[in-house]
Amino acid sequence: MDVIKKELKDTHLLLGVMGDPILHSKSPAMHMAALKATGVPGTYVPLHVTRNNLKDAIQGVRALGFRGVNVTVPHKVEVMKYVDVIDEGARYIGAVNTIVNDEGVLTGYNTDGIGYIRSLKEEAISDLRGKNVLVLGSGGAARGVIYALLKEGPAQVIVANRTASKSNELAQEWSQLGNIKGCSMDEVPDYVAGVDLLINTTSVGMYPDFQASPIKADLIPDGIVVSDLIYNPLKTELLRQAEMKGCVIHNGLGMFVYQGGYAFEYWTGLTAPIDAMREAVSESLN
């Protein structure tokens, strides 16, 4: 580790995040704090990349000598076409959010799911074995979360989506990983009463539409764990309603920090300074 750190201090690490839009991202603030805390000389920049320029942008990662980049909406799936190696977890999930450049060889990883589970277990529910879980949404973020969830041994994971066929396809695709079932959002009232954990992976309730909630308040069972991947605002309308019903609530800040922490560790080989990263994101939000 000392050798790695010495090598890092002898160079200037070039990192960034690709997305469209991108100026709202808190990743630059978080990763610049991580570089500072670890004493690694480097720069982390926002990269506004449109869909039609994604292939060229990935070529630019090699040409410009980036050590790595994060990839965010809307490129997490499309970018898989342009990397050289895809980690097994990212391949299963069907999305890449972190790329590592090893002398021109680009490897794609997905740190969203493991980041989420680490945060959830630390902050809200320490053991997911035998739990009944209802996940709202089946998009890219949901896939990362559900894949990581199934590895924790829950009794059942129910995935609700506006289009039932999409959640049913996901359930069939991952049936060998655990007990997973798909349903439509209209069917949520039929399943929500028996769950221990409710997770919102949709964007409903995200700033600036912070008064919206993906489900009605009267459907939230008393005293369960309610988690929302959104971190802006930190307390969404769903979490506010859940708190009023005596639920343990969990927001997306920890997931965002930990997914970034795992990416930082892939790039540097160093332990991510999680406290410094969390503080930087919190200050940026404020």
251 is in an annotated binding site: no
Burial class (CB in 10 A: 0-12, 13-18, 19+), 245: middle
The greatest distance separating any two alpha carbons of the chain, rounded to the nearest whole angstrom, comes to 59
280 is in an annotated binding site: no
82 is in an annotated binding site: no
**Cβ-count burial 169-185 (b if 16+ within 10 Å, e if not):** ebbeebeeebebbbbbb
DSSP-derived secondary structure for 156-172: EEEEEESSHHHHHHHHH
CA distance 102 to 241: 46
60 is in an annotated binding site: no
Asked if residues 8 and 268 have their Cβ atoms less than 8 Å apart, the reply is yes
107 is in an annotated binding site: no
Q: Residues 6, 36, 55, 76: which is the catalytic one?
A: 76
Which residues have CB under 8 Å from 189's CB, separation 6+?
219
27 is in an annotated binding site: yes
216 is in an annotated binding site: no
Is 235 noted as a catalytic residue in this protein?
Answer: no
167 is in an annotated binding site: no
Asked if residues 143 and 120 have their Cβ atoms less than 8 Å apart, the reply is no
209 is in an annotated binding site: no
141 is in an annotated binding site: yes
Binding site for NADP(+), residues?
Answer: 88, 137-141, 161-166, 229, 252
Binding site for shikimate, residues?
Answer: 25-27, 72, 97, 112, 231, 259
Residues labelled as active-site residues: 76
Binding site, residues?
Answer: 25-27, 72, 88, 97, 112, 137-141, 161-166, 229, 231, 252, 259
